[in-house]
Amino acid sequence: MKANVITDICPLYKEPSCQSSLDDEVLYGMTVEVLRRQNGFLRVRTHYNYEGYAIPSTLLCDHNYACFWQNIPKWTVWSPYLDIKISPTVQAHTIANCTRGGLLGVKDSDEIIGEGFIKVDLPNGCTGYAHRPNIEYQITSWSKADEKQMRANLVRTAMLYLGVQYRWGGKTPLGIDCSGLTSIVYMLNGSLIFRNSDIRPGFDMKEIPFNAKQPGDLIFFPGHVVLYLGNDEYIHSTSYHTAARVLINSFDPSSPIYREDLAETVTKTGSIF
């Protein structure tokens, strides 16, 4: 059975308990496959092939509507956090919220209504109004022919998360971990990579030599991953006790933002090109 996420964030836990560690966050409007029910939780698999335990109230378990929803054109939310209104005015009641990466359905018309709003379909079967400047048509694919633009887009997208607090298992501007950052950056640009800090078969990423790295590529360490920006600098979400946020560090020993512990523990480098 398929189901839609109907809350801003659907936490995915490692075990069927809220006392378990947070493994991932599935975002508003994403569709999951429900595998089984266990201890009051639902074991689900995401469209990027990641599994965990979800709280049932975060999902609309309507297989037919979820299949319909999965196949209609979508908007992607790009603002850090977005209110969906019941009518096209800023004073209207908020009926839903989305973080960056959340999905809304595209109506037949993209006419601007009221105070800069556009009418959108919602994953619970309702409709609402979103500010048009905060959403863009969903990117579901990418091309190796557009490598230069894709690399620039990956860097630009990663920089949107600069300063966001570290959250184990997080994947939004409210809190994000290292692989949450890299996976959502790639997803927003049409590429699916493994959710955790590794390269796995069946995803777009492949291993390359460290010296071949270019902006947008990923660099891996034991239990950690960063996105390379160029000029020996990289952006990452770190739990390091003096930081605990998304920031930029360097491989250059002469740089004031040099991280020796990371520079000396690189395990592999990955690229989709």
Residue 28 CA from chain centroid, whole number: 11
Residue of 18, 61, 178, 241 marked active site: 178
Residue of 61, 67, 224, 241 marked active site: 224
- Burial code (b: 16+ CB inside 10 Å, e: under 16) for 221-258 equals beebbbbbbeebbbbbbbeeeeeebbbebbbeeeeeee
Q: Would you say 227 and 235 are in contact if contact means Cβ atoms under 8 Å apart?
A: yes
Q: Which two tokens stand for residue 178?
A: 């290292």
The answer to whether 61 is a known catalytic residue is no
Q: Measured between alpha carbons, how far is residue 184 from residues 108, 144, 176, 190 in Å?
A: 28, 19, 10, 10
For residue 187, which of 72, 248, 99 has the smallest C-alpha distance?
99
Residue of 10, 131, 236, 241 marked active site: 236
Q: Which two tokens stand for residue 17?
A: 């308990």
The answer to whether 131 is a known catalytic residue is no
Catalytic annotation, residues = 178, 224, 236
